[in-house]
Amino acid sequence: MISRRTALRIGAGVAAAGALGAPAILHAQTKTLKITTWGGKWGEIMKATVLPAFEKEFKCTVQADQAFPYVPKLQASPKNDPLYDVLHTNSNEQWNCVVEGLVMDRITPKEVPNVADVYPYAVSDKIVGVSIFTSAIGLGYRTDKGLAKPTSWKDLADPKLAGVRGSYIIPVNSLGQCHLMMLGKIYGKGLQDLDAAYKALEQLKPIKLVDFTGQMEKLLLSGEVSEAVIHDSGIYRYDGQNQPIDFASPSEGVMALEQVLNVTPGSKVKELAFAYIDYMLRPDVQKLLAEGVWYSPSNKKVKLGPKYDEKLLTTEAKVATLIQPDWKWYNARKEDIDARVTKILKG
């Protein structure tokens, strides 16, 4: 017969063991990685192939948020229990986040071994986190309108393109912001020469402006614009569909539109978050996504098919044409810039 004292001891022991063991059990049961990711074709590949394979290999669940806006949601969530473990956004937003302590400033090969194999731009001082892919921002144009292939950013100012040139609503689109900085470089002293940029922007009127790159693709396809600022993947993704559009890399260089992954400092599954970034940098995963959406892979070891290799930034020489803006500098002046460009382009 068990005495009352023994029963209490056994009970306390079981309770203590349960309490000690609980976190491990809980961890095993609810290991969920919360990430942000894009929609469209990228989202289709992620949901159909990449994420299920990651979940299987790492025995976890990935909760992928495709509903914008990511940064305000992250800002509004507690820092010690953030809404996301891995934030996937463009570089401009990552810089906003790092200033507020919402993401890590650097990711090194120590945490993510595959970082050792990326091109220097992917972890340069213009990047917080790591860029897993990039697009080249240049000029898209119609091939059926009698236009010569653009060779310079200045070609967009051709008077023949009045009303049929396109760019973006600068306060809300990073391609528009890149274009503005590029105007400073082309017509002034450099990317940060805003006065020259404003003056050049004035000369581009009348110009059609849109919010998203997807809209610009459709404007080009429908012929509503003949030449526009766009990233290469926005044009190349129509490869083989017999569309009269093409992409031109201006001789002054192309701007980088990086796809950046970063980890939130308060993440409860930081190791899994790093594993996810490492996974996204694996050559096979990089190849799958690069050929699916025409993004240039960051991993130097990736070997793409010939038609992708020909067009995307897959060598040190091609990557050297990328110009990375200083988003920290830009974000610090964004309010003033927004007010100024809105005044210039209103109506």
Question: Does residue number 41 form part of the binding site for other proteins (CB under 8 A)?
Answer: yes
Burial 272-301 (b: 16+ CB within 10 A, else e): bbbbbbbbbbbbebbbbbbbbbbbbbbbbe
Measured from the CB atom, is 215 or 331 closer to other proteins? 215
Question: Does residue number 66 form part of the binding site for other proteins (CB under 8 A)?
Answer: yes
DSSP bridge pairs for 141: 227, 246
Question: Does residue number 331 form part of the binding site for other proteins (CB under 8 A)?
Answer: no
Question: Does residue number 73 form part of the binding site for other proteins (CB under 8 A)?
Answer: yes
Give least dist CB 214 to other proteins, A.
5
The stretch near other proteins (CB under 8 A) out of 150-158, 208-216, 259-267, 283-291 is 208-216
229: its two tokens:
């600022």
The stretch near other proteins (CB under 8 A) out of 78-86, 99-107, 113-121, 275-283 is 78-86
The stretch near other proteins (CB under 8 A) out of 34-42, 85-93, 248-256, 262-270 is 34-42
Measured from the CB atom, is 58 or 157 closer to other proteins? 58
The stretch near other proteins (CB under 8 A) out of 77-85, 137-145, 249-257, 301-309 is 77-85
Measured from the CB atom, is 18 or 214 closer to other proteins? 214
Question: Does residue number 77 form part of the binding site for other proteins (CB under 8 A)?
Answer: yes
196 and 154 Cβ atoms separated by less than 8 Å: no
Task: Pick from 6, 25, 101, 212 the residue near other proteins by CB under 8 A.
Answer: 212
Question: Does residue number 40 form part of the binding site for other proteins (CB under 8 A)?
Answer: yes
Measured from the CB atom, is 66 or 192 closer to other proteins? 66
**Per-residue string for binding with other proteins, 215-244, x by CB under 8 A?**
x-xxx-xx-x--------------------
Give least dist CB 89 to other proteins, A.
13
Q: For the chain, what is the HEC assignment?
A: CCCHHHHHHHHHHHHHHHHHHHHHHHHHHHCEEEEECCCHHHHHHHHHHHHHHHHHHHCCEEEEECCCCHHHHHHHCCCCCCCCCEEEEEHHHHHHHHHCCCCCCECCCCCCHHHHHECHHHHCCCCCEEEEEEEEEEEEEECCCCCCCCCCHHHHHCHHHCCCEEEECHHHCHHHHHHHHHHHHHHCCCCCCHHHHHHHHHHCCCCEEECCHHHHHHHHHHCCCCEEEEEHHHHHCCCCCCCCEEEECCCCCEEEEEEEEEECCCCCCHHHHHHHHHHHCCHHHHHHHHHHHCCEECECCCCCCHHHHHHCCCCHHHHCCEECCCHHHHHHCHHHHHHHHHHHHCC
Give least dist CB 296 to other proteins, A.
18
How far is Cα 182 from Cα 180, in angstroms, rounded to an integer? 5
Task: Pick from 11, 101, 206, 214 the residue near other proteins by CB under 8 A.
Answer: 214
114 and 278 Cβ atoms separated by less than 8 Å: yes
The stretch near other proteins (CB under 8 A) out of 17-25, 201-209, 212-220, 259-267 is 212-220
Give least dist CB 120 to other proteins, A.
29
Binding-site size for other proteins (CB under 8 A) equals 29
Segment 83-122, which members bind other proteins (CB under 8 A)?
Answer: 83
Task: Pick from 33, 42, 227, 319 the residue near other proteins by CB under 8 A.
Answer: 42
How far is Cα 277 from Cα 117, in angstroms, rounded to an integer? 13
Question: Does residue number 208 form part of the binding site for other proteins (CB under 8 A)?
Answer: no
Question: Does residue number 65 form part of the binding site for other proteins (CB under 8 A)?
Answer: yes
What are the residues binding other proteins (CB under 8 A)? 38-43, 63-69, 72-73, 76-78, 81, 83, 212, 214-215, 217-219, 221-222, 224
